[in-house]
Amino acid sequence: MTTMQDYKAQFDALKTCAANVPLVDLKREVERHRLSNEDMERIKKEMPTQCVFVDGFSFARDLVALYQHIRQHIPSIKMLPTSEAVVMRRDGATLHGKAALYYEDCPYTIGVIGLDYSGSRPYHFMSGRIANTKYKNTKTRSDSRFYQMDSGDMSSFAKRVAALCTPFSFHVLSYLFFSTLKSESKKAIYETAYATQKLISLVQNPDVLQREVENLINQGVTFMTPEFNEFVEKFREAKQVSVHEQNRSVPAYFIRVTARGTQQFVEVLSVQNVRAAEHPVMVDSEPMLRLHIDDVPEDIMGKLSVLMITDVGVHVNTVGVRISDTYFWVER
């Protein structure tokens, strides 16, 4: 049975390894490298033996061959170029020698395949699922070979890579995207505290302050000016809101929407407070539930419907945040 410590170890490795990133971020970053039909036709004539086109990107031929070998074991795997390791030609064309592997229904990339012909083992795969103990003392593991394996045989290497390319578990994904909701949720604490401080800065009229100070000395705590009375009332209200926000718990659900035939299901992981110091899945999560879409409570379904038409990564206050087309954090 996988323990929470196991999930945390997986999470820490995936967060450290540069080959594992949110899929939506990578798609946005590499879109500028996508070629037009005219560019592809021109490059085909100029570089007929060097590159192969996949989904509008130009890849090194051997890299695509490795990718196709991997797809023989896992047909649903896909690839995108990484943001680095490209050969720029004078005319602006790019030839990618590295590619991120991913699944459309998994919002985090699985790893990166690459080529390097400087040695006898030209095929590489980097992922947080690899622990190359030969390099365990490397200080900066995100830029090291600790998370990398190499080979000189494409066929056997593709089989090894495929074995490491299973989609991430529901719990690991909740951990990877937990900071997205937590940071947005905590904004309310800082915003309400700032609103309280800003009200103080508005009382800058020295005549008003002098009159109030004199009045406090002579009369105790009775406020004489309408301005200060109004300020004190607003300050008390703002302070109450700020204290409430600091003490408020934010329970939430991590949700995945799946389909089986014509039927839709929702998998739900419930946590008590996303503002907890530790990731709540590690300390207070409840067992995962699997419900038919018709059995999802109306309030949760309403918020889920809002997030389904919201852009990925955009937090909607008191509603949640959409991680991908199928994954969501929904505030309770």
271 and 218 within one domain: no
CA neighbor of 308 nearest in space, from 287, 291, 322? 322
Chain center to CA of 158: 27
160 and 49 within one domain: yes
pLDDT for 138 equals: 54
CA neighbor of 268 nearest in space, from 247, 254, 279, 282? 254
Residues in contact with 114: Cβ distance below 8 Å, sequence separation at least 6, in sequence order: 63, 85, 97, 98, 99, 123, 124, 125, 126
42 and 159 within one domain: yes
Which residue is associated with the tokens 């592809």? 40
Q: How many angstroms separate the CA atoms of 245 and 273, rounded? A: 13
pLDDT for 141 equals: 47
Do 242 and 195 form a contact (C-beta atoms < 8 A)?
yes
Number of domains in the chain: 3
Q: How many angstroms separate the CA atoms of 281 and 273, rounded? A: 10
Specify if 78 maps to a domain.
yes
**pLDDT category of residue 34 using cuts at 50, 70 and 90:** confident
92 and 68 within one domain: yes
243 and 254 within one domain: no
258 and 144 within one domain: no
Specify if 55 maps to a domain.
yes
126 and 34 within one domain: yes
Give pLDDT tens digits for 270-324. Answer: 888 887 756 655 545 556 788 898 998 999 999 999 999 999 988 998 899 999 9
pLDDT for 142 equals: 46
310 and 210 within one domain: no
Do 109 and 21 form a contact (C-beta atoms < 8 A)?
yes
Specify if 1 maps to a domain.
no
Identity at 102, one-letter amino acid code:
Y
278 and 137 within one domain: no
48 and 37 within one domain: yes
Helix (H) or strand (E) holding 158: helix 154-163
43 and 118 within one domain: yes
Specify if 7 maps to a domain.
no
Q: Which domain holds residue 317?
A: 175-179+249-331
pLDDT for 241 equals: 86
161 and 36 within one domain: yes
Specify if 47 maps to a domain.
yes
